[in-house]
Every structure is written in C-alpha cells, then in structure tokens.
Amino acid sequence: HEHDDTHGKAVTREGMLRDVRVMKQFNVNAVRTSHYPNDAHWYDLCDEYGLYVFDEADVESHAFYQEICRDNRYAPAFLDRGLRMVERDKNHPSILAWSLGNESGYGAHHDAMASWIRHRDPSRLLHYEGAVTWDWQTGQAASDLVCPMYPQIAKLVAWAKNRKAPDQRRPLIMCEFSHAMGNSNGSLADYFDAFDRYPGLQGGFIWEWVDHGIKRRDVQGRDYWGYGGDFGDEPNDRNFVCDGLVWPDRTPHPGLFEYKHLAQPVRVEAVDARRGRFRVQNRRWFNALADLRGTWELLVNGETVTSGPLTRLTAAPQATQSVTLAWPNLSLAVKDEVHVTFRFFTRDATAWCSAGHEVAWNQLGVPLAAFAKAPRAIRPATSESAVAVETTPKHWRVRAAGMEFVLHRDIGQLADVRVRGRELITQGPQLNVWRAPTDNDGLKLFAVVNWGGAKMLTDCLKAGYNRIELSDTQCRMETARDGTPRFVVTQRWLCPGAMRHITHTHAYVARADGTLSVANVFAVDKRLPELPRLGVSLVLPTGLEQLEWFGNGPLENYSDRKRSSILARHRSTVTAQYVPYILPQEHGNHTDVRWLALHDARGAGVRFTADRRMEASASHFTAQDLYAAKHTTDLIPRPEVHVNLDYGQRGLGTASCGPDTLPRYRIQPGKYALNFKVTSET
C-alpha cells in the first residue's frame, strides 16, 4: 500500500489517511506491512481508525532464498532488523502479529529472531510464511500461524478437515492470496465460503492494495500510469507491479467491491421468503448493529415495485434478529422473477465515512407462490405469410412488419438489419472464441507469457483462437409447416495453429411481428484446448450509446466474480462499460443476462433476449484493440458499438501469481447452444 503515483515511495500523511479511509469504507480489517516496517505514522492511523496490523521485518532474500538465512555472516542482520521493528512499534495496539519477513527461506536466523521476540513480547503472534512453505505442519518455532502463500482452495479445505493432523492448534491465515493483477480476484467468493464453513480458516491477505503505476503524460497531453520499461529502465518487471485492488489514485477496481461484499459485517438469510420472514446476522465480534439502518426493496423482473425501511437493528455481536416484510398484492406470470434486496447504511458520520455510507447488501430470491397467479396472456393472432423473401444469387433479403435484413449466402453473414429504414445491426452474429487476455490468462508483455499457474494465453495463441479462419460456409432456406421461412447457416472455422475446426450453425427465423429468432449451435473439436469465451459478436451502428440490461450489475462481473452483483434492470452507456486497467485487457462483462438493449438518444434501438441466461457486453473497443494496447492512451474508441453475446466466458481466477481458474468456471471443447431473439425498440 505504500505508494504514491507522483512521489513513488515518498508517501505523505495525507496519502496514508486516504488509504485508511478507503480501506475502512470497503470493509478491510487488516494490513500486512509487506515487506518492511512502515512509516511510524501509519501505525498511529491504524490505532485510531481500527485496522489490525501484521508488522513485517525488512527481511527478504528471494534470489538467494535458502542461502542467506543459513549464512552465519547474516545472523546479526536478521536479529537486528527484527529487534528494531519490535522496539520501535511495540506500543501500538493495532499490531496483532510480528512477521519475520518475506520470501527469505527458513533457517536458524529466523528461529533466533522468533526466540528473541517471544521473550521480549509474548503478547503477540508470530507470522512467517517461509517456515511452512514446504510443509504446513512444520516451522512451529518461527510461526504461530499456518500462513501459506496462494494455496488452492481444495488444499485449504483438506487441511481444515484433517482432524488427525498433529498441528491443528495453529489457525490458518494466508500470507497472500487472490493476486489482484488487472481484471482478477476470481473465486474470491469460493475462498470466503471456505472461511465460513471451516473455523480454522481465518482469512488472508490479498496481494495487493494499490497498482504501483507512476503518473506520466504523453505527447498529446493525456495522463496515464507508466510501469516497468516506460522509463528506459532495464531490467524491469513490466506491469507486474500493477496488481492492486485500487488504481494509483485509489479509485477502487471492480474486484474491491466483491471483497467488500464478502467481508461485510451484516448478512441476511431467508427463513421463509414466501411469508416475508428473514434473519439478519451481525457478523461483528464486538459491536451491535445499532449504528446501522437497513432498507429493503422488492424487484419484479429487475424493476423495483415497492421498498421500505427495516425495523431498527439491535442484533448483538455474533447474534441475529428476525425481520418480517409485508409483500404487496401482485399478480405474476410463470416466467416472472422476484427478488428482494437488503441494504445497510451508517446512521451517522464517522471518522472514515459520511452518514448514509453503504456497508453491506444482500439479494435473495422470493418464490412466485408468495403472490397471486396472473391470468395467461392471449397472444394476438398473426399471419406468418406476412414474411416476404427476395432471393438473388448472392443473398436473401427478408422483410416482415417493418423489419428487413440481408443474409449473404457466400459468407453466411447477417447484415444491414433495419426497422422502418433505421439501421439496428450493421454486421450480424459471427463466431467469437477470443477475448483480450487478462493478466491471469497470461502476461502478454513478457517473453514467457505464462509462468504462473495458468498456460491459457499460450494455449490460445498456439491454437489460433485469435485468428480463426472461415473455411467453409453452407446456407439453405427451409420452410416450416406453417410456411415460416427458416435460414440455416453452417460455418466451419479453422483454428490455424491447431488445424482443428469449430462448427457454428446459426439459424434465423423472421416472424410476422418483426421478431428475429436466432439459434446458435457450437461444436468445438474435442482435441482443441479450452476456450476463453464462446459466443457471437455483432457490430451495431454509431449512436446506439444508451445501454440497458436485465442481469448482474452494475459493475462488470464474471462467472467466478459475481457474488457482489445485484440482479436487476441496469442502465448505463456503452462508453461507461470501459474499465481502464493500466494494461488494457478484457473487461465489462455481465453474467446471467436475460436481455440486453441498446438505444439512441431518442430511445430507438434493439433488444437481444436470451432463451436462457447468457453473458453479454457492449464496447467501443474490439478484443484486438485491447490486445494490441500497452497503455490506456493507446486506445481510440471506435464510433460503432461492438456487442458480445456469449454462452459463457472463462472465469478470471488468479493465475498471474496463484491458482488458475477453477474447473467449473472453464469452457471445455464440446457442443453448446445459445438462442436469443432480436426485436426493435422505439
């Protein structure tokens, strides 16, 4: 956390205070002073505002991992650095544990430090990851904690369940986990689920707080954050220090909101949602909930229909209280979706936030049985014969209820979709299996792009997912029993590196009411590697800037980082979907999308409605634009809109320095379907 984007390591008291306040606002409760004791003022602030501290000695040898800790010439230096840390900082109540250093192996020097500290200050815990690196049962002389670095969740759970282990007296607090590099922090919720289920797992320290970028200005006067190599410095680690939960100006990454939600001090669980009965849980250890106020809102299909305050919160520490909500009289159809969202705010201003600051939120489903059943809607009769098809040697032109489109028979591409003369889609659904790699997919600026837990980017580039080639197209028109024309396009796309194919079959049915149904089937050769994404991309004309969707939001979210999202009808813009990670990469995705719509300034536009939940995004950048860029200022927004409708994207994981994406969040070769409808909106 000790970094300033203008002064580097010369941090100011104002900057320290800003960090403490933002940490408190996002439910952070502990800081490890990696990898050295901090400015003395930091501990004053942690004492005052309430942050636990693991104070870490300035001991790290890295390239000489096991040598220096066993070289007698360095023994006095080890002890001196631990001694001086303790003597300087011993009177700060915020310090919960002394850390013997970082990544310096494990040897007699560490045991000597630990022994001296235990005698000088027996009141605090000792922490040292190097003592348990190879075996979590070892190193008890140097560490009172089992404190592994970037362990897999399965290993944490196995340790917690192993009641026969000889070392179950020590709690487990991860030294580092969830490497926050770029678009990251996948499976943070899975870690927290393990913390909740197994008491011996007490959490860990996310690496790290801030992107260590340095403010620069390009020749056009635009500011950006530079990183290794931007200053003529050799050697360097390129963007590897841009791995924080906040940007250098302390603006939070989307991943920090996920953390805030998972670490929140209040949770709500359903007792009997049908009858409006819920239980509020106080997850604090020392304070009641009297300083907070709660609200609830009922959403039907993502829209708020009613809301109100909760009864006064009184739950004692680690206790619960019951609340009962009165549902309104509603008549709902079978396909309607109902959710209740609870939010909790500070009643009064504190030293670190203003009154009304949101500290927690939960969303739960409400069964339709809580409401009356709406009568079945009667669909108006339509004449399918209203669909007109014009056939030429090169294309089909289809017209229905003011909508028309062209399907090119040679390349199998839908184009020029118009409603009453207004263009809605410039280029129709085309197979898309590539995303601009995240830092966890691979380090694109490094000679060896995958040196950590993942080899995703290497596999994708070798297979040629970023440059698939259309090798064969077959188009045919069918006529259903009711006379409706159905256009079927079968395309084989070659992955040139692997010399294997992906077959994309897309069928289009134009209805007399102007609806266009699109059915996609993807058959991925099982000899291909896993996919970064699987879906279709479309190009929409300039002007469709207003964005709405019914799905998870409002921030970007992914299959393994969506616990903090709210399922609702969200409104934004295409421009606002851009997330300015210091190294441009994949961003702006939304999961569990029921529909996504884009409009112009007058409200006219197009809607894509999924038969089942899909993932979706809209951007003024292509994946190729993002992959080619090294800094945010390399990007020039395109005037048109690029829409991605996906069966799914690979999760984010944390493999830039930690475990890869869990198997259940990956897309393996096989057969998949994605169906949606296209309608115009006025």
Q: Which residues are catalytic?
A: 103, 176
Q: What is the DSSP pairing of strand 201-206 with strand 172-177?
A: parallel
Q: Are 310 and 293 in contact (CB under 8 A)?
A: yes
- Write down the residue that tokens 């899975």 correspond to: 190
Where would I find the beta strands (DSSP E) of 186-265? 201-206, 214-217, 223-226
Angle, helices 153-161/188-197, rounded to nearest 10 degrees: 0
| Cβ–Cβ under 8 Å, residues 514 and 420 | no
> Half-sphere exposure of 538 toward its Cβ, with a 13 Å CA cutoff?
28
Provide the residue type at 676 as one letter. F
Rounded CA separation 194/202 (Å)? 9
Is the link from the previous residue into 541 a cis peptide, with omega within 30 of 0? no
- Residue 577 token pair: 């979907």
Q: Report, in this order, helix, strand and coil percent for the chain, each rounded to 5.
A: 20, 35, 45
Distance in angstroms (rounded) separating the CA atoms of residues 492 and 494: 7
Q: Counting Cβ atoms within 10 Å, is residue 351 exposed (0-12), middle (13-18) or buried (19+)?
A: exposed
Tokens 């069928």 — which residue? 507
3-state secondary structure 364-398: EECCHHHCEECCCCCCCCCCHHHCEEEECCCEEEE
Crossing angle of the two packed helices 108-120 and 75-89, in degrees rounded to 10: 30
Residue closest to 531 by CA, chosen among 670, 628, 675, 624: 670
